[in-house]
């Protein structure tokens, strides 16, 4: 039986771990911040490791769900020292294109098989097993990863290179953030004009995507428990802005949207769901 280790037990790591545990996968879990996740750790096929070394030493596959480039570099720098030679290592975190390439190159140089498998979706999709994964790297290894992640996904799509997968993931998140920022502004404008329900008259026209309508509903709900936090989307927009500059594309729109979330973070809302900007 394949032994899988998950590094990082934030929202997405826990969600994917839950789906894999439901499929009777043998799991080892490790988090940088100590803490027992009782709903998972009480299962007979799940073990919580006390150290990173213990977590990865007997694993056939290691998946990481980390915050950013820095966390990825820090955790994997240690993990490589303890992974068995035949381990398949997989970066599932939303990282920059540079880090995605670096991860696969470093792992390969250390003798491991490596791919990135970047998630499209947030907490609801992780918990329901309907994530889309964008893989990048060796196609044979990516096919293996697609099979392993089947309980957590509705689709796994091979993007080619690790860089391509990361660019696609950042593009999706940028489009998501742009729609949210626009809907937040429209909501506030119509409410301030004394038209609180005006948008409902036109949400069925093509200009309003189903996603935009869903984001409007979330903003109105007043529930800002995080599915996708302000700080995380702000980080992703920063990666996209840097990419645009590197490619000599003006990042004006990206920077304008990012500024909305930067302000929200400065107001102490960084750990809230990113829909809080429309409150």
Average pLDDT by stretches of 10, the chain with 279 residues:
93 95 95 78 90 96 98 96 94 98 96 97 95 97 96 97 98 98 97 96 95 95 96 98 98 98 98 97
CATH number of domain containing 243: 1.10.1040.10
Owner of token pair 């005006």: 198
Residues 141 and 172 grouped into a single domain: no
Residues 156 and 176 grouped into a single domain: no
Residues 33 and 146 grouped into a single domain: yes
Residues 44 and 121 grouped into a single domain: yes
Residues 180 and 147 grouped into a single domain: no
Instruction: Map residue 278 onto helix, strand or coil.
Output: helix
Residues 233 and 114 grouped into a single domain: no
Residues 72 and 138 grouped into a single domain: yes
Which pLDDT does position 250 carry in this prediction?
A: 98
- CB within 8 Å of 77: residues ≥ 6 apart: none
Residues 155 and 171 grouped into a single domain: no
Which pLDDT does position 260 carry in this prediction?
A: 98
Residues 28 and 116 grouped into a single domain: yes
Residue-range definition of the domain harbouring residue 239: 166-278
Which pLDDT does position 37 carry in this prediction?
A: 72
Distances 52 to 5, 15, 21, 64, 165 between C-alpha atoms, Å: 10, 20, 20, 12, 27
Residues 133 and 235 grouped into a single domain: no
From 128, 160, 192, the end of a domain falls on: 160
Q: 63, 68, 69, 80: which is closest to 135 by C-alpha?
A: 63
Greatest alpha-carbon pair distance for the chain in Å reads 65
- CB within 8 Å of 74: residues ≥ 6 apart: none
Which pLDDT does position 28 carry in this prediction?
A: 96
From 143, 160, 177, the end of a domain falls on: 160
Residues 119 and 200 grouped into a single domain: no
DSSP one-letter code for 275: G
Domains in the chain: how many in total?
2
CATH number of domain containing 33: 3.40.50.720
From 123, 141, 160, the end of a domain falls on: 160
Residues 46 and 184 grouped into a single domain: no
245-269 CB burial, b ≥16 within 10 A, e <16: eeeeeebeebbebbebbbebbeeeb
């Amino acid at each position: 039986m394949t032994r899988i280790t998950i590094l990082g037990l934030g929202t997405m790591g826990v969600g994917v771990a839950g789906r894999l545990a439901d499929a009777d996968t043998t799991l080892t879990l490790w988090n940088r911040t100590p803490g027992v996740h009782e709903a998972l750790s009480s299962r007979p096929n799940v073990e919580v490791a006390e150290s990173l070394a213990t977590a990865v030493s007997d694993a056939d596959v290691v998946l990481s769900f980390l915050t950013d480039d820095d966390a990825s570099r820090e955790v994997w720098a240690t993990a490589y020292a303890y992974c068995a030679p035949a381990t398949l290592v997989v970066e599932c975190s939303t990282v920059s294109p540079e880090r995605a390439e670096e991860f696969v190159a470093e792992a390969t140089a250390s003798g491991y098989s490596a791919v990135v498998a970047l998630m499209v979706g947030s907490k609801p999709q992780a918990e329901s097993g309907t994530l889309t994964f964008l893989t990048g790297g060796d196609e044979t290894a990516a096919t293996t990863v697609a099979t392993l992640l089947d309980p957590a996904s509705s689709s796994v799509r091979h993007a080619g290179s690790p860089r391509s997968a990361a660019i696609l993931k950042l593009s999706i998140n940028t489009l998501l953030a742009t729609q949210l920022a626009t809907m937040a502004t429209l909501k506030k404008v119509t409410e301030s004009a004394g038209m609180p329900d005006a948008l409902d008259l036109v949400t069925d026209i093509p200009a309003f995507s189903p996603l935009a309508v869903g984001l409007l509903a979330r903003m109105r709900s007043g529930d800002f428990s995080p599915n996708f936090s302000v700080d995380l989307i702000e980080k992703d927009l920063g990666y996209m802005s840097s990419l645009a500059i590197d490619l000599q594309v003006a990042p004006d729109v990206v920077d304008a949207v990012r500024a909305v979330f930067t302000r929200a973070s400065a107001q102490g809302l960084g750990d809230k769901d990113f829909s809080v900007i429309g409150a």
